[in-house]
Structure 1
Amino acid sequence: MRPLDGIRIVDFSRVLAGPMATQILAEFGAEVTKIERPGTGDESRVFEPVFDGGQSAYYSAFNRSKRSVAVDMKTDEGRKLAFEIAAQADVLVENFLPGGMDKLGLGYEALSAVNPGLVYVSNTGFGQTGPYRDRKGYDTIFQALSGIIDLTGHADGPPAKVGVPFADMTSGLWIAISALTGLLGRVSSGKGCHVDLSMMDVQVSLLALPAARHFALGETPGRIGTEHPGRVPSAAYQCAGGAWLFISASDQHWPLLCDVLGLTEMASDARFSKNRDRVRLRDEVTAALSAACATRDRTELAEALRAAGVPAGEVNTVPEILNDPHTRVRGMVDAFDDPDHGTTPGLRTPARFSGYDAHRFEAPPKLGADTRTILSDELGLTPDQIAALYEKGIVA
């Protein structure tokens, strides 16, 4: 048994944010049915890179543990089938432009009329209202418009995007939050709801701390590299050999940090004992710590700092953290059996629930792999009716 056993989700979304959210819910037990176009399916099925055998690594990262139905929603019969599948769902996730699902006869008003308990999550770029509602959007566009890119990078360099699809993935988390909140609300209200979730709104909400500085100080926050605007030291320092180590120290850590680095005079200097003063003297503190770290081996220094109780973390590459012993012991890297590629690695959904079975970690579905079963077992179509749909290309 898993926490979301018995919950049915129909997923009309594509590429990343929506599929990421529904994968999380699927692995916690929900039955997720992915509605895709015959022939091509979700466009991320062909995104590079690909594993041997042709499976997209991108698609595999966000579509595990789901079912796939290939149905042509450009046809009346296809839209009818999609409607009937959605009419049985607890949650629907879609990322069409506003009004797109309505044009297909699959909007919230139409579906809630026959399925009043439906939690319908519309994940659009800019929301259902506002002057930008009809704009198309992409991860990096949201990063740019929201100010995230302007805040990322070093003060003397150009703006930079975040190293992962930040807007997509944070929006994916909010889709999952919204779906679960709607389901919980349904328990007390007895009815579902329509969730208007804008990816742009999600990005703006993540500006909580820079916005707080603007509200409090009237400043325009800028790029500060790895440093923290309100804490010194909290930054990455280069060690001997070129490797980087991140050190973050509050007042209670300051004398311990100085002791490990051999900065005895700075430790006893009252000018540096309080964070507010170190922020004011940021350049002087940074220069002293940079010079001290540059003479030390990163592994030795990191271990010495942690032994002293000073927060420190190596700046790892992706292969380094994937092969880190803690990552491995925690089971974050696992593998599923892909029919084309065989044993295929992937990253697990992180939450662990006591009292339940381990969450699912199954291969992503082949396009249309579950079409016939769902038409028969869930929609009650006869073999002849199903054969006719295949013959006409309505399903695949």
Structure 2
Amino acid sequence: MSHTPTGPLKGLRVLDLTRVLAGPTCTQMLGDLGAEVIKVERPEAGDDTRGFAPPFWPETKESAYFLGVNRNKLSLTLDIAKPEGQAIVHRLLETCDVLVENFKVGALAKYGLGWEQLSKKYPGLIYCSITGFGQTGPYAPRPGYDALIQAMGGVMSLTGEPNGTPQKVGIPVADLFAGLYGCIGILAALNHRRETGQGQHIDIGMLDTHVAWLANQGMNYLATGENPPRLGNQHPNIAPYQEFPTKDGYIILAIGNDPTFERFCKAFGQEHLLADERFATNPRRVENRQLVTDTLTPVMRSRTTKEWIEALEALKIGCGPINTLKDVFADPHVQARGCVVEMPHASGATVRVIANPVRLSATPPDYRTAPPVLGEHTEAVLRGMLGMSEAEVAALKAKGVV
């Protein structure tokens, strides 16, 4: 197995009964911070995302999707539908601090692994459930999928061109936010347990977390009772704050306040706009956003993207190119920040993964082990942690339990 974990969660043991994205995002974050994460996967099949391909990572049979959220985990194949599998879960829970699961509501209870059942036997256990709609409410039994949650949570109604169709975000933000909120809940519960000795149940619903990060747009609705319209790349509360065409492409121009707008106008021959009340303050520019866009578009077309960035950055005006992913990973700042990490994989290949963005000065994220191949650590967990004999493990394999 791997070298000794480091980090603020060193010594924490997590039983990971999650798959796909929301749950694995949560447990990878815990693993990066030093927790020992035991990922339980179905024998032969494994996590669903092992089959979410192409693309596979070169020279491996692993999907890029799976590799993205499963580093710093031990893969234990285990059939929890079998009594022997359930018994192994209980043995592991004797030394585990946290259980994370994303089964449908009530699904684990039929195996004796629900919160109400386990909390009686393991009163210090922190049990985090991540589902589409949470453990209560009329939608609780429904399955949750990222696009579905983006639709029901309102984000799709806010995303896209004004006269176009509703659009989802290009990455699965509903899953990712649920996983991150789950991690936050676990960290809070650990602090509570340290003070009281009590574990607790953390109920994370993807729809809840999606509503929570409606942020300014959610507040705009609550303040007015009006549904915010789709604005394409424009900001609902600031103008100009959007993309503009340049001589050779596009640029994001982010003018966040009136002094910055004044600086922009004086530097680029638009000082006359400052005497026009329609441009004088941010609220008026928001009210007249189409006029602002139409007025500034020919100005922005007068220079190349590079020329604009150099000129605007010199004036400390927010701006940036619209990068492809190739541009992102080639960006000197992204490279200087170490946003990609290379890890030796069990296949013999080297895989590159996207780094944890949490920069801790004393206990930084720890990249111990690459995402595991299916069942890579089954024998190590059963024999090393649980003290099973070779014969016992062989018997479990013969029965299809592991």
Is there any run of 5+ residues in structure 2 with no aligned partner, and where? 1-5
Per-residue deviation, 1:255:
1.4
**Deviating more after overlay: 197-206 vs 252-261:** 252-261
Aligned equivalent of 2:36: 31
**Deviating more after overlay: 359-368 vs 41-50:** 359-368
Q: Does 1:205 align with 2:212?
A: yes
Per-residue deviation, 1:371:
1.3
Per-residue deviation, 1:358:
4.9
**Equivalents in 2 of 1:298, 1:264: separation in Å?**
22
State the Cα RMSD in Å: 1.4
Aligned equivalent of 2:98: 91
Aligned equivalent of 1:365: 372
Maintained 8 Å contact 1:260/1:304: no
Aligned equivalent of 1:69: 76
**Equivalents in 1 of 2:364, 2:313: separation in Å?**
35
Aligned equivalent of 1:218: 225
Q: What SS is found at the alignment partner of 1:252?
A: helix
**Equivalents in 1 of 2:17, 2:69: separation in Å?**
14
**Deviating more after overlay: 6-15 vs 280-289:** 280-289
Aligned equivalent of 1:51: 57
Maintained 8 Å contact 2:41/2:78: yes
**Deviating more after overlay: 269-278 vs 103-112:** 269-278
Q: Does 1:231 align with 2:274?
A: no
Q: What SS is found at the alignment partner of 1:123?
A: strand
Aligned pairs (5 A) from 1:264-343: 264-340=271-347, 342-343=349-350
Indicate the percent of aligned positions where both proteins have the same amino acid: 39
Aligned equivalent of 2:127: 120
What CA deviation, in whole Å up to 9, does each residue of 1:293-345 have, x standing for no partner? 01210111011111112111211111111110000000011211123261211
Identify the match of residue 258 of structure 1 among 259, 265, 287. Answer: 265
Normalising to structure 2: TM-score of the pair? 0.95
**Equivalents in 2 of 1:325, 1:361: separation in Å?**
26
Maintained 8 Å contact 1:334/1:347: yes
Q: Which amino acid aligns with 1:299?
A: K
Aligned length: 395
Aligned equivalent of 1:247: 254
**Deviating more after overlay: 32-41 vs 341-350:** 341-350
**Equivalents in 1 of 2:11, 2:40: separation in Å?**
19
**Equivalents in 2 of 1:59, 1:292: separation in Å?**
46
**Equivalents in 2 of 1:299, 1:266: separation in Å?**
25
**Equivalents in 1 of 2:209, 2:17: separation in Å?**
20
Q: Does 1:163 align with 2:170?
A: yes
Maintained 8 Å contact 1:246/1:314: no
**Deviating more after overlay: 355-364 vs 171-180:** 355-364
What CA deviation, in whole Å up to 9, does each residue of 1:34-64 have, x standing for no partner? 0110001101111111112211100000001
**Deviating more after overlay: 375-384 vs 65-74:** 375-384
Aligned equivalent of 1:173: 180
Per-residue deviation, 1:258:
1.3
**Equivalents in 2 of 1:267, 1:296: separation in Å?**
22
Per-residue deviation, 1:361:
5.0
**Equivalents in 2 of 1:329, 1:79: separation in Å?**
46
**Deviating more after overlay: 219-228 vs 6-15:** 219-228
Q: What SS is found at the alignment partner of 1:386?
A: helix
Q: What SS is found at the alignment partner of 1:6?
A: coil
Per-residue deviation, 1:67:
0.2
Q: 1:357 to 1:349 in 2, by over 3 A?
A: closer
Q: Which amino acid aligns with 1:65?
A: N
**Equivalents in 2 of 1:62, 1:309: separation in Å?**
36
Aligned equivalent of 1:154: 161
Q: What SS is found at the alignment partner of 2:238?
A: coil
Maintained 8 Å contact 2:182/2:204: yes
**Deviating more after overlay: 329-338 vs 56-65:** 329-338
Q: What SS is found at the alignment partner of 2:259?
A: coil
Is there any run of 5+ residues in structure 1 with no aligned partner, and where? none
Maintained 8 Å contact 1:87/1:111: no
Aligned equivalent of 2:89: 82
**Equivalents in 2 of 1:21, 1:220: separation in Å?**
32
Q: What SS is found at the alignment partner of 2:40?
A: strand
Identify the match of residue 8 of structure 2 among 3, 7, 24. Answer: 3
Q: Does 1:388 align with 2:395?
A: yes
**Equivalents in 2 of 1:147, 1:392: separation in Å?**
47
Q: 1:249 to 1:208 in 2, by over 3 A?
A: closer
**Deviating more after overlay: 257-266 vs 30-39:** 257-266
